[in-house]
């Protein structure tokens, strides 16, 4: 029979990572002869959620076990979490969930979607577990049961990617990571776009090594297991690797984003809104660029923050009346209007920049003056007048073009779908 296991909320800012707890547990199960069905899942949850430690991820996996193996699996998992989770940190409140069954209930799938796109309570998770007969284990207040259930419930069936994670040996946790940067560049050159978001080409930064004290040495993101394994062959680690694990994931899929109207937008939601620019971009202290859009239901500020670097150069060229779609998350902010933290910008229609200017005098070649409202133009020196229709029309060409623009890799959320993936998907149809 199938036993699904979900784990979340095992880490703190000081260390650990749920991907590691998953990897250790799975290896321990394998040593006991318990194999997994399919790839373990790494599910990124609501990227704006205030209680996340870092990337808001939870993991799950499925085993095919006989009745008398069930208790053994549960024991190994629970002991693993107890041993590895940062239980001494108050804000770390792990949750472990078990669900036995051949099919994932629809209610659990819907819950999973909600945890990625919205906010749920621990009580909601408990009620659901009760309804579907899932077993929950809470450590402390056990907020982790939310992510643990969501990870089991996620079908990863519309779009998905893979991440191959290498974990460090314990002695090296918290020390600078030693990975040959040149080899990462070579890997990117040889395998992009089948692997993606592993390097920020503009900043020249490698993006596979985290900057936190967690056990991850590197994570390589790609389209298929073959792609990430091929890439791993090229990356040279200059320190020992304790173990590696391949996760199937919703990273790079834009699953967090939902089309919405401004009136429906709320803090903690990530949305796609079509609107018209009504206040031109302004650069404020810190280098952040802010402008305002409007749709038929309201107004919202949009922000391209400093870390989005060159993306701001596109944003700065927007003009009032441009029709755009903004993709991004809404920050918690007490006052209105809401601010959308931009992840992508789609330019749909650029307003014309045609302007009327005074004609030049045919005799002296100087620009004529207005003779008064709707009274045409006059050159005082040559005493020549021209009617209103003689105005010249000039058009300043727009440098930006309709289409999608994205923030650079370094500023991208784990869930954000890189444009290269959007384009590859379009090519398939
Ligand atoms: P890591 O990625 O290293 O595992 P993290 O960033 O995932 O760390 P957690 O320590 O897991 O952060 O904390 C997030 C907590 O919030 C978890 O307990 C999870 O169950 C819960 N949670 C996640 N998303 C939501 C949501 N949308 N609504 C309510 N609770 C959530």
Q: What is the whole-number distance in angstroms between the Cα of residue 92 and the centre of ligand 1?
A: 10
Question: Is residue 7 domain-shared with residue 102, that is, in the same domain?
Answer: yes
d(CA 218, CA 236): 11
Same domain for 49 and 141, yes or no, is: yes
Whole-angstrom Cα distance, residue 187 to residue 193?
Answer: 11
- DSSP annotation string for 36-57: EEEEEEEEE--TT-TT-SSS-E
The answer to whether residues 207 and 271 belong to one domain is no
Question: For residue range 99-142, what is the model confidence (pLDDT) as tens digits?
Answer: 999 999 999 999 999 999 999 999 999 999 999 999 999 999 99
Mean pLDDT (the chain, rounded):
94
Q: Does residue 47 contact residue 415 with C-beta atoms inside 8 Å?
A: yes
Q: Is the pLDDT of residue 65 over 90?
A: yes
User: Hey, which of 18, 47, 49, 212 would you mutate to test ligand 1's pocket, going by the most ligand atoms within 8 Å of its Cβ?
Assistant: 49
- φ and ψ at residue 318, rounded to 5 degrees: -70, 150
For residue 145, how far is its CA from the centre of ligand 1 (angstroms)? Answer: 9
The verdict on 23 and 113 lying in the same domain is yes
Which CATH number covers residue 330? 2.40.50.1010
Query: Ligand 1 atom 11: the closest Cα is on which residue?
Result: 9
Structural domain span for residue 212: 161-249
Instruction: For residue 49, give the nearest of 135, 198, 150 by alpha carbon.
Output: 150
User: What's the CA gap between 95 and 143, in Å, rounded?
Assistant: 6
**Confidence (pLDDT) at 37:** 94
Is residue 429 situated within a structural domain? Answer: no
> What was the pLDDT predicted at 429?
39
CA–CA gap between residue 417 and residue 421 (Å, rounded) = 6
- Report if residue 68 sits inside a domain: yes
Task: Indicate whether 44 and 118 sit together in one domain.
Answer: yes
Enumerate residues lining ligand 1, CB below 6 A. 8-9, 11, 17-18, 45-46, 49, 51-57, 115, 119-120, 143-144, 146-147
Pocket test for ligand 1, best of 6, 9, 256 (most atoms within 8 A of CB): 9
**pLDDT tens digits along 345-388:** 999 999 988 888 999 999 999 999 999 988 999 999 999 999 99
The CA 46 to ligand 1 mean position distance, Å, reads: 8
pLDDT digits (tens, 9 = 90+) for 21-30: 999 999 999 9
CA of 50 to the centre of ligand 1 (A): 9
CA 386–ligand 1 middle distance (angstroms): 70
* pLDDT band at residue 422 using 50, 70 and 90 as cut-offs: confident
The per-residue pLDDT for 397 is 86
**Is residue 244 located within the same domain as residue 263?**
no
197 and 95 together in one domain: no
Spell out the residues 6+ positions from residue 211 whose beta carbon is closer than 8 angstroms to its own.
none
Round to whole Å and give the CA distance between 380 and 207: 65
Q: Which of 217, 232, 249 is the last residue of a domain?
A: 249
Q: Would residue 424 count as lying in a domain?
A: no
Q: How many domains does the chain have?
A: 4
228 in any annotated domain: yes
Structural domain contains residue 422: no
Task: Identify whether residues 30 and 128 lie together within a single domain.
Answer: yes
Closest residue CA from atom 9 of ligand 1: 9
In this prediction, residue 426 carries a pLDDT of: 66
Q: Each residue of 315-342: pLDDT tens digit?
A: 999 999 999 999 999 987 767 678 999 9
For a ligand 1 pocket test, name from 8, 116, 121 the mutation site with the most ligand atoms within 8 angstroms of its C-beta: 8
Q: Quote the ligand 1 centre to 12 CA distance (angstroms).
A: 11
Mean pLDDT, range 168-187, rounded to an integer: 97
Do 172 and 34 fall within a single domain?
A: no
Residue 421 lies in a domain: no
- Atom from ligand 1 closest to the CA of residue 119: 28
- Ligand 1 centroid–CA 229 distance in Å is 28
Mean pLDDT of 307-312: 95
Q: Report d(CA 274, CA 216) in Å as an integer.
A: 39
Predicted local confidence at residue 203, as pLDDT:
80
User: Where among 226, 249, 272 does a domain terminate?
Assistant: 249
Domain identity same for 392 and 406: no
Q: Which of 249, 280, 303 is the last residue of a domain?
A: 249
Contact 345, 293 (CB under 8 A): no
pTM assigned to the model:
0.92
- 199 and 329 assigned to the same domain: no
* pLDDT of 428 higher than 60: no
Mean pLDDT of 218-222: 98
Round to whole Å and give the CA distance between 195 and 187: 9
**Domain check: are 319 and 388 in the same one?**
no
272 confidence band (pLDDT: 50, 70, 90): very high
Q: In this structure, are strands 2-8 and 95-100 parallel, antiparallel, or unpaired?
A: antiparallel
CATH code of residue 24: 3.30.70.2200
In this prediction, residues 172-194 reach a mean pLDDT of 97
What is the three-state SS of 241-270? Answer: EEEEEEEEECCCCCCCEEECCHHHCCCCCE
Instruction: Kindly report the CATH number assigned to the domain that includes residue 180.
Output: 3.90.600.20
């Amino acid at each position: 029979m199938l036993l699904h296991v979900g784990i979340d909320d095992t880490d703190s800012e000081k260390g650990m990572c749920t991907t590691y707890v998953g990897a250790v547990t799975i290896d321990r199960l394998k040593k006991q002869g318990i194999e997994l069905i399919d790839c373990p899942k790494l599910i990124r949850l609501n990227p704006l959620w205030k209680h996340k430690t870092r990337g808001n991820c939870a993991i799950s996996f499925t085993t095919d076990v006989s009745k008398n193996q069930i208790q053994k699996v549960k024991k190994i998992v629970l002991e693993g979490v107890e041993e590895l989770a940062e239980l001494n940190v108050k804000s770390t409140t792990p949750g472990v969930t078990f669900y036995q069954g051949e099919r994932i209930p629809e209610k659990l799938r819907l819950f999973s979607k909600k945890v990625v796109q919205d906010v749920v309570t621990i009580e909601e998770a408990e009620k659901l577990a009760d309804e579907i007969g899932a077993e929950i284990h809470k450590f402390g207040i056990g907020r982790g049961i939310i992510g643990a259930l969501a990870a089991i419930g996620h079908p990863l069936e519309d779009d998905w990617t893979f991440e191959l994670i290498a974990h460090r040996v314990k002695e090296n946790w918290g020390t600078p990571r030693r990975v040959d940067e040149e080899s990462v560049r070579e890997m990117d050159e040889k395998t992009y776009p089948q692997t993606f978001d592993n390097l920020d080409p503009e900043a020249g930064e490698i993006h596979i090594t985290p900057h936190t004290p967690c056990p991850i040495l590197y994570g390589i993101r790609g389209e298929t297991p073959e792609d990430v394994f091929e890439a791993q062959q090229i990356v040279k680690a200059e320190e020992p690797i304790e173990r590696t694990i391949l996760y199937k994931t919703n990273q790079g899929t834009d699953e967090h984003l939902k089309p919405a109207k401004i009136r429906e937008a709320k803090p903690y939601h990530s949305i796609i809104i079509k609107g018209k620019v009504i206040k031109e971009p302004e650069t404020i202290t810190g280098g952040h660029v802010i402008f305002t859009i409007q749709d038929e239901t309201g107004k919202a500020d949009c922000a391209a923050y400093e870390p989005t670097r060159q993306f701001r150069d596109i944003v700065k060229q927007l003009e009032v009346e441009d029709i755009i779609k903004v993709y991004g998350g809404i920050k918690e902010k007490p006052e209105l209007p809401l601010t959308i933290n931009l992840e992508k910008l789609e330019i749909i229609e650029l307003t014309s920049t045609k302007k009327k200017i005074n004609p030049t005098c045919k005799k002296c070649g100087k620009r004529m003056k207005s003779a008064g409202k709707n009274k045409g133009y006059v050159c005082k020196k040559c005493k020549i007048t021209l009617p209103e229709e003689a105005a010249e029309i000039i058009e300043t060409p727009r440098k930006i073009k309709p289409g999608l623009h994205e923030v650079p890799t370094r500023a991208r959320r784990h869930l954000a779908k890189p444009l290269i993936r959007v384009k590859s998907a379009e090519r398939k149809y």
